[in-house]
Structure 1
């Protein structure tokens, strides 16, 4: 049987609230026209060449950027750093003979792990003169409600704790630093930036790229170069590194341009081949949220009633037991919450070991639990239910009691720590037979 959890199958399972509007009262008609995300870069802005480091290829790849106010801006609203920083990198690359051969990286993704935020906490400040600060807060609340990302206000009392932070400030159009850049980095907003556009800009800060510039985009959309204003073509160049596309093409992504973006004549610059709607700036799509979740997974432990911890033997690639009395690398599992928000009762989850293997219910349930597969599918997907804990809230926090069931709409099988712990783990208990040995305590070490 087919065991890969398809994108279409996943889509019907995620909480409908992901698709609810985030934008309140402001007019979002511009999301299907020339968006302020492109306003930062004037048509006459000079285009220059720089380099970005690509981890998968272990080389520098060339990138095109516009020079605006001393900043290197890619695709209209992604600030790669200052022009001086880019020039210094170009000199270094050429001096050391590190120029890459092969495809360009005109559309780019944040492949450098040093440019990713080390935790899902992003400190920020807001200048007092920034317009519509309620929209910024609404955008932050949207991220908080649909992902485990937390934007934390940086103050004098915690500044030493957060040397790297985002400064939200006034500027032309709507743009933001791309990924983590170290020290102070910026987001620039004017009064035209809607809540949805600000959500989009926060995504760039986290390292998300524009959906329409994926390596495989020509299968899904048609780019109408002839309808673009001068200089707009630089915003539509493809990313040639397909390894960084986490899921299939997402027409509904908040990172996708609208059909009239950069139009010079009122005709579309981008069309979906199947007539799908594109360019919404209402809310993170399901797969926007999942992509960010994959970037920032959480460390997760499960403890059996006996006090023994669930362990992926050998760090993955073998059996899963519940027989350890202390937490080490093999007991720390990376939790991927497929529902994209805070971990809630009923969420679909996957658990990845330190070696990269996924925890699996063998044969989909009814027998043992192992950690062999390197690619997750239905057998590696579980639904987690809160059974008790310090609070009555549906959110699953440390010390809550949970049960873990297999991914099955009909008759899921629930994990059991054999003997209550100290031995193996099976996925064979029916819901009507749940007992103490099926209960696990959550930890976030």
Structure 2
């Protein structure tokens, strides 16, 4: 599919695809180069304007009171340019999917031929992880409504009620396309690398519509190709046709060799399906964390957006993982069990327990730790591959005078640092001391001061040896706990994640001073 995934703002993610795709599901005459691309107001135009949408610059037309972008996309709530540098700008890097892949919907009773909607919904549910549930009292939902002009929709979850507008001439395939926008897909030809596969003939584009052919990069968004191996997906249901917005009957888009291609509005392509399923996948974990006063959260293995992977909260009472809003590549829990996260760009945020951004910290980081205070590793490595380490003073970051790749902070204010060579040091009061008996790549500390570390040599499965350090016993090898991520509860019990994404809870077995643990697998994410 190689579509751009847009979550509320113009930061986009490319999904895997190949040059020509088979399509599945529906059949019919819509798979033709004469298929008309969706437009909100066919044949109508308005003034070309420039504004900001969730912090990103965007060109659009104002037609009949609506902000129209790329023909069939309606932009709600354009930003006040005077507010772009407030804390809300930081929130633009969190692009929320439909929560847990569930789209709540209503169908306006006045919409004719409603089987177009139900057939399109059935198509999405048959081939993807997206689920549609008739809305009762849910706050966020989409309404399918009759429109006298054309086909259009918003892109991604907007919050509150949003609409998919369906003209009488819109087909089931057009509705499938508009649903694609609603769940977060962008037009295929907006890819940043599209010029490797197609030529945009701006001389043939109707005057005033040239911005419809911009890449997301040209529109001020950022993104990348998640897989980036097989090129643009000409078979995507999100792809423009070769004659769209032509002023003279000549093609506006051709392949690099000058040939044309067939656009279709029959069904999702194979890579449309693969991409959406990856985007809304239910993954196992990549990383886990515990707060010094409780709480367990993790980051999923499957990338959810440009800014990182899904965030999940674990309920120890019922053994259920629940996905919260937001995405991250690194996570910690502060002493109040509040998540602190880092995104792919290194931005640092404090979230609410439901995952909504509540504040943004200054600066950028590669990792974060929280105990009685918060520490981060910076983003500029020295010649040895270590990063400066900083402590948060309530408004800014202060260097602690050490560098490393990982840091942990205890409830008593003890700082542990792992450097790029695997050496471990700890600070108690004002004194730094070396920790013997281990070289480590990662570290975690519990509320009782128990420290767990990962060794530096992976086994055949990609897991690392687990070590424990306590004040009374020093460093001990835990023979049965190899993993890729470890967290420690307030009681000093480890939670680990293995290379295949499974997670386990370790409970001391027998002798308190021994190294034997009883491991219970934690439920996978559902």
TM-score range, shorter chain: 0.5 to 0.7
2:244 corresponds to = 261
2:436 corresponds to = none
Structure 2 CA distance, aligned partners of 1:112 and 1:45? Answer: 30
Q: Give the CA deviation at 1:238.
A: 2.0
| TM-score of the two chains, using structure 2 as the length reference | 0.49
Task: Indicate if the aligned counterparts of 1:272 and 1:278 stay in contact, CA closer than 8 A.
Answer: no
1:213 corresponds to = 190
2:126 corresponds to = 145
1:76 corresponds to = 71
Q: Give the CA deviation at 1:245.
A: 4.2
Instruction: Name the CA shift for 1:175/1:247 in 2 (closer, same or farther; >3 Å).
Output: farther
Q: Describe how 1:29-40 pairs up with structure 2 within 5 A.
A: 32-33=33-34, 35-38=36-39, 40=41
Task: Indicate if the aligned counterparts of 1:47 and 1:67 stay in contact, CA closer than 8 A.
Answer: yes
For structure 2, the 5+ residue unaligned runs are 1-15, 305-327, 332-342, 344-366, 368-455, 466-498, 509-520
More helix by percentage:
1
Instruction: Name the CA shift for 1:441/1:313 in 2 (closer, same or farther; >3 Å).
Output: closer
Q: Give the CA deviation at 1:367.
A: 4.2
Instruction: Name the CA shift for 1:265/1:127 in 2 (closer, same or farther; >3 Å).
Output: same
More strand by percentage:
2
Q: Describe how 1:116-265 pairs up with structure 2 within 5 A.
A: 116-154=97-135, 158-159=136-137, 162-171=138-147, 172-240=149-217, 241-248=221-228, 249-251=231-233, 252-265=235-248
Task: Indicate if the aligned counterparts of 1:19 and 1:283 stay in contact, CA closer than 8 A.
Answer: no
Runs of 4+ in 1 over 6 A off after TM superposition: 362-365, 414-418
CA RMSD of aligned residues (A): 4.3
Which of 258, 283, 289 aligns to 2:273? It is 289
Structure 2 CA distance, aligned partners of 1:299 and 1:370? Answer: 21
Q: Give the CA deviation at 1:186.
A: 0.8
Task: Indicate if the aligned counterparts of 1:71 and 1:79 stay in contact, CA closer than 8 A.
Answer: yes
Instruction: Name the CA shift for 1:65/1:11 in 2 (closer, same or farther; >3 Å).
Output: closer
SS state at 1:298 partner: coil
Which of 329, 339, 354 aligns to 2:297? It is 329
Instruction: Name the CA shift for 1:124/1:237 in 2 (closer, same or farther; >3 Å).
Output: same
Instruction: Name the CA shift for 1:441/1:281 in 2 (closer, same or farther; >3 Å).
Output: farther
Larger RCO, structure (CA 8 Å, separation 6 or more): 1
Structure 1 CA distance, aligned partners of 2:191 and 2:38? Answer: 18
1:23 corresponds to = 26
Task: Indicate if the aligned counterparts of 2:209 and 2:245 stay in contact, CA closer than 8 A.
Answer: yes
2:261 corresponds to = 277
For structure 1, the 5+ residue unaligned runs are 1-9, 13-17, 54-59, 100-109, 302-310, 316-325, 338-351, 372-405, 407-413, 424-439
Task: Indicate if the aligned counterparts of 1:22 and 1:139 stay in contact, CA closer than 8 A.
Answer: no
1:66 corresponds to = 61
Task: Indicate if the aligned counterparts of 2:69 and 2:75 stay in contact, CA closer than 8 A.
Answer: yes
2:43 corresponds to = 42
Q: Give the CA deviation at 1:41.
A: 4.8
Task: Indicate if the aligned counterparts of 2:289 and 2:296 stay in contact, CA closer than 8 A.
Answer: no
Q: Give the CA deviation at 1:111.
A: 6.2
Residue 369 (1) aligns with residue 463 (2): yes
Instruction: Name the CA shift for 1:41/1:61 in 2 (closer, same or farther; >3 Å).
Output: farther
Instruction: Name the CA shift for 1:112/1:139 in 2 (closer, same or farther; >3 Å).
Output: farther
Task: Indicate if the aligned counterparts of 2:503 and 2:524 stay in contact, CA closer than 8 A.
Answer: no
Task: Indicate if the aligned counterparts of 1:78 and 1:175 stay in contact, CA closer than 8 A.
Answer: yes
SS state at 2:60 partner: strand
Instruction: Name the CA shift for 1:65/1:443 in 2 (closer, same or farther; >3 Å).
Output: same
For each residue in 1:159-213, what CA deviation from the matched residue of structure 2 results, as whole angstroms up to 9, or x when unmatched? Answer: 1xx1111011111211111222221111111122222221111111112111112
Task: Indicate if the aligned counterparts of 1:165 and 1:183 stay in contact, CA closer than 8 A.
Answer: yes
For each residue in 1:261-287, what CA deviation from the matched residue of structure 2 results, as whole angstroms up to 9, or x when unmatched? Answer: 122333211001154735322322333
Instruction: Name the CA shift for 1:52/1:247 in 2 (closer, same or farther; >3 Å).
Output: farther
